[in-house]
Chains A and B, each alone.
Chain A
């Protein structure tokens, strides 16, 4: 059954949208990331205009992360104080990101920028995660390795404006989470992602937060950054398709339930290794497409529609 999407102005099979939402929801349930990094490229692949795909993914993320935060909050695993500081940076970053996005549209380089951003980010993170998780798996197999330090001391910990984050058991400079929020905000606007796959590793390795509070806190700030991006995209670029987002969400919430059940059966480092492979796979596919000669070197757009 086809459904006509009012803003994207294309007819798409409902089953495809629900299925896509379910797959992404499943992955986010398993790995605790939003799955936007998979969603946006797939939407573009099934014929949604890139600008609409990016903006509507952000809209879908709002709902998906509300679900996630509520679940984590019931277990007491959300650091609201840290979330607020991340958000200050996040808002500033997403405003800049939406502005950059509009500029790229005028230059006709949205597609290229989004693709390159994905390749670089996914490639780097995927590789780092794969190395880290493989090491963890090997260490576990060797058994009885030394206790891990609470967190390493780096140059980051010498910065001024120190703040105490009780829930995360941290005493660090507010500049670090603000900056992290800013970077994720920019990415969110340009790539249509919540940035969970950037945020989660950064919170663990850069901020040194306890693993238990990371997914909930990351999702908390994603709610607001994604909401901000959605409103800015709707008002500035008119590219948010609420019907599309809703279809994806319905599939997503169902998939997430199955995903989290499946995820609880796997060990942390195995999960991270699997996620790393998945991320690398997407990056490799996008990188290959960049260098592949397009079927038609020419493309056509209606002026002002992109």
Chain B
């Protein structure tokens, strides 16, 4: 992820150095706050190019290792029998562009920049046959799509005139917390000529964050507090019936 960030920044710097700012983009909000009533949100990305060209926006959530398990039938019961762990899988991945991806950039370019779910590089230490790798890989993508974390299809980047563009980035209610990277690619004549990466923080805010933080840091104390609170509620509930 960090290398990717560097690569993108390098790319932006190279392109920028060559002919000024080819691409400028920013978010309306750099913080997605998860509060008690959070049911998902959207953040607007807007920007401008220095001329013609197509824009692709990729949003990647913080990376984590994911285990994919396969069930098979053992004595009439479905049991997890095989598991494969993929390293550094983005916890969220969405993509948007102003035209179908095929019309903008050739497969090789998309593969290089990991544009599109098909081009997401997923590594595993498990020694698997290519067929098996593909099976587990597609199972991972399918499950993440079902959870709403890898939204299917390509979102719309809208051009307002020739140079100004915007897109809505949708986040579901179960969006994982952490630092996201929003990558914007400017593609001209089937090559990426400029890129920009903007960080976006998704974080729990308020009571929930405090509870989670406390539970992480003082696990034992949290457990004791949890049972005390429960016992207290249980006791209070009996008060109205004291004389019954």
B223 CB, nearest partner CB in chain A, Å: 3
Decide if B69 touches A298 in the complex (CB within 8 Å): yes
The listed residue with most B CB atoms (<10 A of its CB), out of A11, A64, A236, is A11
| Residues on the A chain within 8 Å of B237, using CB | 63, 67, 253, 256
| Residues on the B chain within 8 Å of A109, using CB | 79-80
B186 CB, nearest partner CB in chain A, Å: 33
Asked, given contacts A2-B173, A71-B238, whether A300 binds B140 with beta carbons under 8 Å apart, the answer is yes
Contact with B along A229-253 (1 / 0, CB 8 A): 0111111101010110110011001
Cα-based distance from A296 to B141 in the complex (angstroms) = 12
Decide if B78 touches A1 in the complex (CB within 8 Å): no
Decide if B37 touches A249 in the complex (CB within 8 Å): no
What residue of chain A has the Cβ atom nearest to residue B236's Cβ?
A: A253
| Residues on the A chain within 8 Å of B173, using CB | 2, 4, 10-11
Contact with B along A112-128 (1 / 0, CB 8 A): 10001000000000000
Q: Which of A137-145, A207-215, A285-293 contacts B (4 or more CB under 8 A)?
A: A285-293
Which residues in window 271-306 of A have CB below 8 A to B?
290-294, 296-304
| Residues on the B chain within 8 Å of A296, using CB | 139, 142-143, 146
Asked, given contacts A3-B37, A291-B77, whether A298 binds B139 with beta carbons under 8 Å apart, the answer is yes
Q: Confirm or deny: B65 has a beta carbon within 8 angstroms of a beta carbon on chain A.
A: yes
Which residues in window 42-98 of A have CB below 8 A to B?
59-67, 70-71, 74
Decide if A11 touches B220 in the complex (CB within 8 Å): no
Cα-based distance from A209 to B223 in the complex (angstroms) = 33
Asked, given contacts A231-B223, A240-B222, A297-B72, whether A303 binds B78 with beta carbons under 8 Å apart, the answer is no
Decide if B230 touches A70 in the complex (CB within 8 Å): no
Decide if A302 touches B64 in the complex (CB within 8 Å): yes
Asked, given contacts A4-B37, A235-B223, whether A66 binds B234 with beta carbons under 8 Å apart, the answer is yes
Decide if A6 touches B212 in the complex (CB within 8 Å): yes
The A-B contact count (CB < 8 A) is 186
Decide if B227 touches A6 in the complex (CB within 8 Å): no
Which residues in window 148-195 of B have CB below 8 A to A?
173-174, 176
Decide if B71 touches A299 in the complex (CB within 8 Å): yes
B50 CB, nearest partner CB in chain A, Å: 41
Q: Confirm or deny: B101 has a beta carbon within 8 angstroms of a beta carbon on chain A.
A: no
| Residues on the B chain within 8 Å of A2, using CB | 37-39, 173
| Residues on the A chain within 8 Å of B174, using CB | 9-11
| Residues on the B chain within 8 Å of A10, using CB | 173-174
Cα-based distance from A245 to B85 in the complex (angstroms) = 32
Decide if A6 touches B204 in the complex (CB within 8 Å): yes
Taking chain A's interface residues, is the majority helix, strand, or loop, or is none over half, making it mixed?
Answer: helix
Q: Confirm or deny: A187 has a beta carbon within 8 angstroms of a beta carbon on chain B.
A: no
| Residues on the A chain within 8 Å of B204, using CB | 4, 6
B189 CB, nearest partner CB in chain A, Å: 39
Q: Confirm or deny: A7 has a beta carbon within 8 angstroms of a beta carbon on chain B.
A: yes
Q: Confirm or deny: B131 has a beta carbon within 8 angstroms of a beta carbon on chain A.
A: no
Q: Confirm or deny: B43 has a beta carbon within 8 angstroms of a beta carbon on chain A.
A: no
What residue of chain B has the Cβ atom nearest to residue A65's Cβ?
A: B234
Asked, given contacts A2-B37, A4-B36, A238-B216, whether A227 binds B235 with beta carbons under 8 Å apart, the answer is no
| Residues on the A chain within 8 Å of B39, using CB | 2, 11
Q: Confirm or deny: B13 has a beta carbon within 8 angstroms of a beta carbon on chain A.
A: no
Decide if B234 touches A62 in the complex (CB within 8 Å): yes
| Residues on the A chain within 8 Å of B211, using CB | 6-7, 242-243
Contact of A60 among B66, B136, B230 (CB under 8 A): B230
Decide if A70 touches B37 in the complex (CB within 8 Å): no
Asked, given contacts A6-B215, A59-B227, A66-B234, whether A294 binds B140 with beta carbons under 8 Å apart, the answer is no
Q: Confirm or deny: B229 has a beta carbon within 8 angstroms of a beta carbon on chain A.
A: yes
Contact with A along B122-151 (1 / 0, CB 8 A): 000000000000001001101110100000
The listed residue with most B CB atoms (<10 A of its CB), out of A1, A231, A246, A294, is A231
Give the interface of B toward A (CB within 8 A): 34-39, 64-73, 76-80, 83, 85, 91, 136, 139-140, 142-144, 146, 173-174, 176, 204, 207-209, 211-212, 215-216, 219-220, 222-227, 229-235, 237-238, 241-242
Give the interface of A toward B (CB within 8 A): 1-4, 6-7, 9-11, 59-67, 70-71, 74, 108-109, 112, 116, 223, 226-227, 230-236, 238, 240, 242-243, 245-246, 249-250, 253, 256-257, 290-294, 296-304
**What are 17 A-B residue pairs whose CB atoms fall within 8 Å in the complex?**
A6-B209, A6-B215, A7-B211, A11-B39, A62-B227, A66-B230, A108-B69, A234-B222, A236-B219, A240-B215, A240-B222, A242-B225, A245-B226, A297-B71, A297-B78, A298-B142, A299-B143
